Amino acid sequence: MVDASEPPDSIRTKFLSCRETLSELEVDPGRVLLVLNKVDLLPGEGRSHIEEDSLFKDFDSVHISATEGYGLRQLRNHILGRVNLSRKPTTEPPSKRRAAFSGDS
């Protein structure tokens, strides 16, 4: 997640560090979703400036404003689209699944 309201040089510095870490961990950039938050604080040209930066070119991005709710549905849909939905259906009641998940028996 990037605070899009920060100065471009600050965003660039922080994201370069992030990219280095992702590279060291051998994370495929195609699996990363770049979330640009606080876009409500940017003038229209500020949004395109971030997207046009070559630093971000390998990443899918979503623009959001958490305070205004802008883009949250799109973010949710991106996340759900990336979740592996090939889990086996279960017939156990939800209370039993929660207990198994939390480690309670």
Q: How confident is the model at residue 97 (pLDDT cuts 50, 70, 90)?
A: very low
Q: What is the amino acid identity at position 70? A: Y
Q: How far is CA 88 from the centre of its chain?
A: 26
Residue range 39-95, pLDDT digits in tens: 889 876 666 666 677 777 778 888 999 899 999 999 999 888 887 544 445 555 655
Residue range 14-32, pLDDT digits in tens: 989 998 999 999 998 888 8
pLDDT higher than threshold 50 for residue 105: no
Asked whether residue 103 is domain-assigned, the answer is no
Cα 55 from Cα 58, distance rounded (Å): 8
Asked whether residue 98 is domain-assigned, the answer is no
Decide: helix, strand or coil at residue 30.
helix
Asked whether residue 100 is domain-assigned, the answer is no
Query: In total, how many domains does the chain have?
Result: 1
What is this structure's pTM?
A: 0.68
| CA dihedral for 54, 60, 63, 64, sign (positive or negative) | negative
Asked whether residue 66 is domain-assigned, the answer is yes
Asked whether residue 81 is domain-assigned, the answer is yes
Range(s) of the domain holding residue 34: 2-87
Asked whether residue 99 is domain-assigned, the answer is no
Helices assigned H by DSSP within 25-71: 44-52
